Each structure stands twice: as C-alpha cells, then as structure tokens.
Amino acid sequence: MDKFIIPFVDEIKNYALDGYYKEFSIRTKPDGSVVTDIDVLVEKKIVKILKKEFPDDSILGEETGLTKGVNDITWIIDPIDGTRAFSQHKPEWGVLVSRIVKNDISTGIVICPVQDIYTAVHNNELITSSFDYEQIEITNKQDNVISCESNLELLDNFKNDNFLFRNRNQFCKDIISIGFSTFDAVITTAPFAHDRLAYEPIAKYIGGTVSAIDGKQIPIFEEDVVTLICKSPEVKEVVISKLKSYDNMQEAAS
C-alpha cells in the first residue's frame, strides 16, 4: 500500500493546490454548506486514481456519490474539508481520504496542501507524513490544552484550563499534529462521517483515542457527532470526567 499512498499524496496535494490558485465558482448546497467546482474536480481525480488502482473497491464521495464495487472495501472521500475557508482563499483546508475494510477503518489520509502538511496511516503503520511522529511525548497532566470549535457551548466546562476556542477551519492541522503539538485533545463537530473517518487511524496510531464526547464508540457512518480526539487514554479520562462533573453541577443547580 505504501507504493500507492506515497505518490498518491503527492499527486493529490499538487492537484488540489493548483485548483486553489485558479478561479472557481461557488454555490450553496441544500444543507447550507458551500461547494466549489474544485471540490468536484478533486473528488473526480481521486475517484479516477482509485478506480484504476483498486477496480473492485467501492468509492463513496461527498460530491459524486457511490460507485459500487464487488468486495467489502470502501473508500470515503471528502475532497475539500473546509470548503468555506477554501472559497475565501484561506489556507486552513484539507483533503480527507479513508478506507474501510468491513467494519474497520484501516486507512486514513489527511493532506493540507497550502500548509504542506500531510499524514497517511495504513493498518496502524505510518506510511508517510510531514511530521516526525517519533518525537511524540505523552505526559499526563490535569491542565490539558484543548482545541475546541467556537460554536460549541463548552467554555464553562473548562474555564480553569488551557482551552482554546477556534473556528473549525483549523482542525485539519490540529488533529493530524496532535501527537506532538501543545494540544492534548481536540473537540470538533462531524456533520457527516467523511468529516472524521480519515482522522481516526492517525489518532489511534499515536496511541490516542477517538470517541463521542461522552466517551462512547462512534458507529462508522454515524452523522452529526461531536467528536473527542485525545492524545492518550489518560487525557480522554480527564476530559470526560470534567464534562461529566460540569453536567452534574448543572443538574444540581436546576
């Protein structure tokens, strides 16, 4: 798989980046999200490559739908994660590709072309990355540094902690760099499965955890999930404990 993934990452990074610097049209989809013609072109490019290399696999793209294969392998494509940032010519967007074998998310590929950062994990092995994951240091501490979407009402839960609220456009970088960044956890919404699936193998590779915000496992194709991605099981335990403590305080006060 590494002989496929390494040139694939390079080709898609350059192709998407080329589209970013061209003129493109923008429209609003029925669900209120925006899409550009580059989203569609990038997805079609990925589909074409996958069909050639893996003709028996199914491919599910955000923009072009399902191409049914004949085996139990499915590729999931989010051609531009962060289309609003892309459409505003901001750099915080990425290409997400994941591969599911039966019920196992075996492969996660995240590419942030403008920032020139990327990571690909397959079967819990690092295939290629712009990061040196060998330098990961996991420390257990009570005051965790957490990156969270600003639209989530969680400020009171962590008011005494190092808690950074930001818009969602930065999350590609936050998540794939979580192994060595200052962040111990990332809390992000995932309206659709393709918004989060590619991140799961990467987080698990570094020994981290991916769960719903209550700590429970997320079904693969579950939608509208608030996702908690932690650097380690110890961090997950601390974060969930604080969330539960806050909920109990709110119940007692009501």
Q: Mean pLDDT, to the nearest integer, of 114-123?
A: 92
| Cα of 34 vs its chain's centroid, Å | 18
Band of residue 132 on the pLDDT scale cut at 50, 70, 90:
confident
**pLDDT at residue 252 is higher than 50:** no
* pTM recorded for the entire structure: 0.88
**Rounded alpha-carbon distances, angstroms, from residue 137 to 37, 75, 134, 162, 232:** 41, 32, 9, 18, 10
Among residues of the chain, what percentage have pLDDT more than 70?
Answer: 80
Return the CATH number of 145-253, one of 3.40.50.2300, 3.40.190.80, 1.10.530.10, 1.20.1740.10.
3.40.190.80
Band of residue 152 on the pLDDT scale cut at 50, 70, 90:
confident
Q: Mean pLDDT, to the nearest integer, of 19-25?
A: 91
**Rounded alpha-carbon distances, angstroms, from residue 33 to 23, 76, 86, 172, 184:** 19, 19, 12, 18, 29
Q: 36-50, 136-150, 190-204: lowest mean pLDDT where?
A: 136-150
Collapsing DSSP to helix, strand or coil, 99 comes out as strand
Band of residue 189 on the pLDDT scale cut at 50, 70, 90:
confident
Q: Mean pLDDT, to the nearest integer, of 179-204?
A: 83
**pLDDT at residue 44 is higher than 90:** yes
Residue span(s) of the chain under CATH 3.30.540.10 come to 2-131
pLDDT at 182: 66
**pLDDT at residue 248 is higher than 60:** no
Retrieve residue 44's tokens: 């079609």
pLDDT at 164: 59
Residue span(s) of the chain under CATH 3.40.190.80 come to 145-253
Return the CATH number of 2-131, one of 3.30.450.40, 3.90.1580.10, 3.40.50.300, 3.30.540.10.
3.30.540.10
